[in-house]
């Protein structure tokens, strides 16, 4: 069940994929820049509140945003690059063949 695309359709699909990748890389850059800035503000704030640099630098609360926003980045990466670890195209093809074979046995 192979789909044949025209040259124009291939170009449009490739263009959309490149745009999606571009958006991901921009989002990743914003993630890194904003989180470095926020972490620095939180660390300086903790130091002003009386913590030592080591205490402020190793405080988990200063890095929570990295974790939670990072989860979103991971899902966007999976969506962008199409990494299907468990349900790959090969798996789908195998299941289709399996169900077709089972239907032949029933009839």
pTM for the whole thing?
0.67
Mean pLDDT over the full length of the chain: 84
Sequence-separated (6 or more) residues with CB below 8 Å from residue 69? 31, 35
The 10s digit of each residue's pLDDT in 66-90 is 999 999 999 998 888 876 555 666 6
pLDDT at 104: 67
Other CB atoms within a 10 A radius of the CB of residue 56 amount to: 20
Identify the band that residue 91 occupies on the pLDDT scale cut at 50, 70 and 90: low
């Amino acid at each position: 069940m192979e789909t044949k695309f025209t040259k124009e359709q291939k170009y449009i699909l490739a263009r959309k994929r490149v745009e999606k990748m571009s958006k991901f890389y921009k989002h990743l850059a914003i993630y890194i820049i904003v989180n470095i800035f926020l972490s620095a503000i939180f660390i300086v704030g903790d130091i002003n509140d009386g913590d030592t640099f080591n205490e402020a630098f190793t405080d988990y609360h200063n890095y929570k945003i990295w974790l939670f926003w990072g989860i979103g980045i991971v899902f966007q990466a999976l969506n962008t690059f199409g990494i299907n670890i468990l349900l790959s195209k090969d798996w789908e093809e195998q299941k289709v063949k399996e169900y077709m074979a089972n239907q032949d046995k029933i009839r």
